[in-house]
Amino acid sequence: MKRPVGVTASAIVAILGSIFALVLAVGATAALFMPTTKPQPANTTPTIIAGALMLVVLAGVGIWTSVGLYRLRPWARTSILVFSGFMAVGSIFVLLGSMAAPLPPDTSVDTRNALHIAMAVFFGIPFLIAVWWLIQFNTQSTKAAFASQDAETGSSRPVSITIIAWLSIFGGVSCVLAILSRQPLFLFGAVFHGWTAGVVYAIYGALSLFIGKGLLDLREEARILGIGWYAFSFLHSAAIAFVPALRERMVDYQRTLTPNDQEVAAIAQSMLPNLIFGLAALLSALAIWFLVRNRAAFGRAESA
């Protein structure tokens, strides 16, 4: 079947975005070797390297998906839908966060408005692209184009379960990067450092990867474990958002990472923390709802 124009355009945009991610990764790594007059926190270098590695991985997946789209591979359609969901949610999250983040008190109204417009454009474009992809790859004509006559996808896995699975896998990979960058861990008011944080991150990462792979295989034990895991995430996010003592503990923790007390205080008093943890709780609740709602798909896989 002839490839739709929208699919070809999507493949081109995806490959350009992947190249842009590679450029960012190279730029971030090169910045480590540039002289600076300001002292940097001790964990800055590992964090930048971990972020650059993540960009390289995302770029590789993007290029791989772009080639698959051009060849009308069914797995590429699923890949672009998963990525579109991540990009849409991430763009809105970062956009709202940037709008809610406090600016220095001496910032003029014109500068503030210009920054908000720049943020709206910078993060609004990826959001619109994500919405375009979500619509484009769910049309009947596009679905038919990817349903090649000799390719049996044979997959009864709902798209929502695929997205949750890759979200879990992404979380597991993020834990590995957190270990490599020696990031401390904040959990229900407790702060873990060093090897203790590494052990907890390793447990988190193993669970997330196990759940993600199990959901892709439609294993019932992974669904049950996933419900419990996202319920734990929901409780953690909601507790920080609504329990004042935990919020204050989190602010104290942020002061250990940022030497600027005024900046930390301004962020704590803004709507940004509520936005961050409220969105995290909402996403966890949605994951639980989809895992419960699509339980029949797991039953069909076990009976097959």
Q: Work out whether the CA dihedral 230, 235, 236, 238 comes out positive or negative.
A: positive
For the segment 285-303, the average pLDDT, to the nearest whole number, is 81
- The pLDDT tens digits for 26-63 are 877 777 666 665 555 555 566 667 667 777 877 888 88
Enter the DSSP assignment of 32: T
3-state SS, residue 137: coil
pLDDT, residue 37, reads: 58
Q: Are 249 and 234 in contact (CB under 8 A)?
A: no
- Is the pLDDT at 304 greater than 50, yes or no? yes
Q: Residue for token digits 């044979």?
A: 154
Instruction: Give the pTM.
Output: 0.60
Q: How confident is the model at residue 177 (pLDDT cuts 50, 70, 90)?
A: confident
Angle at 77 between CA 74 and CA 142, to 5 degrees: 90
d(CA 11, CA 95): 25
One-character DSSP codes across 70-121: HTT-HHHHHHHHHHHHHHHHHHHHHHHHHHHS---TT--HHHHHHHHHHHHH
- Is the pLDDT at 207 greater than 90, yes or no? yes
- The pLDDT tens digits for 76-118 are 888 888 888 878 877 887 777 666 666 666 777 778 778 878 8
- Average pLDDT over the chain reads 78
pLDDT, residue 232, reads: 92
Phi, psi torsion values for 185, nearest 5 degrees: -125, 130
